[in-house]
Structure 1
Amino acid sequence: MTTVQGTPLEGIRVVELGQLIAGPFCGQLLADFGADVVKVEPPGGGDPMRRWGHQVEGKSLSWAVIARGKRCVTADLRTPEGVATVARLAEQADVLVENFRPGTLERFGLGWDVLSAANPGLVLVRVSGFGQDGPYAHRAGYGSIGEAMGGLRHLTGEPDRPPSRTGVSIGDLLAGMHAAFGALLALQARSRTGRGQVVDVSIYESVLAMTEALVPDYALAGVIRGRSGAVLPGIAPSNVYPTRDGELLLVAANQDTVFRRLAAAMGRPELDTDPDYATHAARGAHQQQLDELIADWTSGLPAEEVLARLDEHAVPAGRVYTAADMLADPHFQARASIIEVPDDVLGTVPMQAVAPRLSETPGRVRWTGPELGAHQAEVVDDLPVERDAS
């Protein structure tokens, strides 16, 4: 079975030509919700993600996640036979995802004009660093560059240090998410028009899309937002605070009503009416001294007691989790936020569950990232016999 009965994308076939993260994360999301994602890799080494990240028993754990639920075949696009195989796959597909540098697909003889002529309903999702046009379109564009030019790196880190990064490839992941969203929008449009279209996703614009009021803050208010460490300037209290037993807790109580409850939890109800803290603007203006007050309170108590008091007063708070914390947490367990997926080499692989959760047609992870060419026979044999060009 290639699709999951009752899933939102049951019956949708996706051909994935991407590699590394941005394009393949789009494919992962679509596969999670039941699409038949056929991943095409070059013979020999396949997608470099097979060798990235931590390895156990010779298998990349990153690959186990990002290629989950996909069927893997090989085709060498540098040969006429490989191009013909991909062309035949595209004729039978609903969506084709690629993240080559712009112009590469055309050099293979698989440009939009060719693909859409053979399959007018095809949706072509194109993921690149800078988009399919414009003066930078030809440039190589990794996720980190998109994070920098999309504005995220300038905002990330401590103000007295160079820009930092998150612990994951967030630029690539945002591009993959926008690519999946774009594919679904194009499929919805096709249901009305019968025709596919091109979805042009750039990494830098995918990052830019998440930067809230960054641009109008500068253009209209003259404010260049910068790095502010663990806080957002003017949003207080919302920070990481130490406890007596050495843990760190994130406490977010910047709304007026929530701050009132925090003051009560601290045994300092008078803070709610103190002119320095009584309003959102006042708390923002006195952010550092307010953080010091809260840190003085949390550092005198063990983490469990702080959390219990905050929970009693409905103040949002939580530990800064590692993977070990997630695996041990009863809420994660109750909701099956981390699932165990069978794997021929590793036995089972714990990984994040499908998100979001749908009540009637939920997604499902069918298998971990397969071996190179694991589905060659069943996928290629399913293809119709190539038409005689004459």
Structure 2
Amino acid sequence: MQSLLNSRRPLDGVRVIEIGQLLAGPFAGCMLGYFGAEVIKIEPPEGDPIRGWRVLENGTSHWWRSIGRNKKSITLDLKKPEAQKIARQLIDSADVVIENFRPGVMESWGLGPEEIKKTNPKIVYARISGYGQTGPYATKPGFASVCEGMSGFRYVNGFPDQAPVRPNLSIGDTISGIHAALGIALALLERERNSGEGQVVDVALYESMFNLMEAVVPEFSGAGVIREPSGTTVTGIVPTNTYRCKNGKYVVIGGNGDSIFQRLMEVAGHPEMAHDPRMANNAGRVKHELEIDNALAAWCMSKDADDILQLLEVALVPAGPIYNVHDMFADPHFNERGMFESVEINGKPLKIPAILPKLSDTPGRTDWPGGNVGSHTQEILQSLLDFSPEKIQELKSAGII
């Protein structure tokens, strides 16, 4: 019975047309395909630019093999009316559209949601853009880097009086892709349970990052407090910090629970602080943050990172190392939890990350890695639109596909 459950996925039978490029829209499509949707990716004849970004092998990025997994690639030059007509036919056969162009581009091609709804009222139409489909900034170009800054996220990262720090990832795009996938799932659920019709899912990069801002808004509204950057700490929660150890490695320690703090300071050799009534709760520890952090920093510098982590594990204090990807590959927990999946590219193995969340009975999976540009064009045009081989060759000769 379990094997039968594991062959089934939550989005089986859902057809998605992914129109867009680079990261936000394609990551949403990657998530949906991982959980069973049939994802047909429309690319320009030269392919999605992400195929050529960062580390390449034989002209194709390793990144593409991950984000392009489980997708069927069809090439269409959407600047040409005949290609727009084909895209329209594909969308009319689908449940979901994902696009991440600037607002107005899809409408200029006759592929906007109001036009599509005339022939496919069940369509769930997900739109990802820098600033959303409405408002004074809607038509501005918005890359993740810019939108992370406007969202407030960049402001609280880094050290006071220094330039805000950017994580070495385009998290604005990825977070927006996750929001889009969630919005699509909600819209599909509503369609099936209630209206029987689709709707527009409007995802803005800056709003997706704004959604991570925790108490920043109510603290300003209620108390006029502006959250400032705080280096390796978190404002108002003590102790939680990153400490350098004797061997030059770093550890992260989260000792901000009342009983946890007592155990932490006992094992760190400061029983007087562990039982100091002034530090018995978080509010008191915030007032003595510098004293606490100095004591923990000195303790960590007296021992190697592994020794610190072993002592804290015994004391049931949350703590851990700072991993790079080499460390992840070597860690038994990552491997036991199935965080890496193996695919084969031209006979050579490649590890790509698993996609979350984990579902007990209908988990997602990688069926195939990202393939070549247009590798499914003929299959899709023949099986879905009943195009003849001669018609397909004619379209190819005209530069439409």
Deviation at 1:343, TM superposition (A): 2.0
Structure 1 position 385, deviation (Å): 4.4
Q: Distance in 1 between matches of 2:112 and 2:300?
A: 60
Deviations 1:336-385 (A, max 9, x none): 2122222236x122121121111100000112211100111111111234
Give the TM-score normalised by the residue count of structure 2.
0.92
Aligned to 2:36: 34
Alignment-derived partner of residue 183 in structure 1: 184
State the Cα deviation string for residues 280-300 of structure 1 (Å, max 9, x = none): 111111112211101111111
C-alpha contact 2:227 2:235 (8 A) present in aligned 1: no
Q: Say which of 242, 245, 263 aligns to 1:243.
A: 245
Deviation at 1:276, TM superposition (A): 4.1
Alpha-carbon distance between aligned partners in 2 of 1:348 and 1:193, rounded to the nearest angstrom: 46
- Residue 112 of structure 1 is matched in structure 2 by 113
State how far apart, in whole Å, the 2-side matches of 1:276 and 1:250 are: 24
User: Which residue of the partner structure matches residue 65 of structure 1?
Assistant: 66
How far apart are 1:160 and its partner, in Å? 1.9
Contact 1:271–1:278 (Cα < 8 Å) also in 2: no
- CA–CA separation in structure 2 for the residues paired with 1:273 and 1:264: 9
Determine the structure 1 residue equivalent to 2:398: none
Output one character per residue of 1:194-236: Cα deviation in whole Å (capped at 9) or x when no partner: 1011111111111111101111211221111121111112211
**Segments of 4+ moved more than 6 angstroms:** none
SS at 2:182 equivalent: helix
Structure 1 counterpart of 2:117, which letter?
S
Candidates 205, 209, 212, aligned match of 1:210:
212
Task: Classify the secondary structure of the residue corresponding to 2:232.
Answer: coil
Task: Specify which of 288, 292, 298 is matched with residue 300 of structure 2.
Answer: 298
Superposition pairs for residues 271-350 of structure 1, below 5 Å?
Answer: 271-344=273-346, 347-350=348-351
Supply the distance in 2 between the matched residues of 1:315 and 1:54 (Cα, whole angstroms): 39
Alpha-carbon deviation of 1:135?
0.9
For the pair 1:234 / 2:201, whether they are aligned, the reply is no
Q: Paired residue for 1:356?
A: 357
Percent identity over the alignment? 43
Question: Would you say the 8 A contact 2:255–2:317 is kept in 1?
Answer: yes
* Structure 2 SS opposite 1:133: coil
Give the Cα separation in 2 of the matches to 1:75 and 1:214: 44
Whole-Å Cα distance in 1 between the matches of residues 29 and 151 of structure 2? 23
Residue 149 of structure 1 is matched in structure 2 by 150
The CA distance in 2 between the partners of 1:59 and 1:158, in whole Å, is 38
Given that 1:264 and 1:313 are in contact with CA atoms closer than 8 Å, whether structure 2 keeps it comes out as no
Q: Could you say what secondary structure the match of 1:174 adopts?
A: helix
The residue type paired with residue 33 of structure 1 is F
Which residue is equivalent to 1:162?
163
Partner Cα separation in structure 2 for residue 290 and residue 129 of structure 1: 42
Distance in 2, matches of 1:325 and 1:5, equals 32
The reply on whether 1:198 has 2:200 as its aligned counterpart is yes
2:342 and 2:385 mapped to 1: Cα distance?
36
Q: What is the match of residue 263 of structure 1?
A: 265
How many residues align structurally?
381
Q: Is the 8 A contact 1:234 1:283 kept in 2?
A: no
Counterpart Cα distance in 1 of 2:273 and 2:343: 50
Q: Give the Cα–Cα distance (whole angstroms) in 2 for the partners of residues 281 and 349 of structure 1.
A: 49
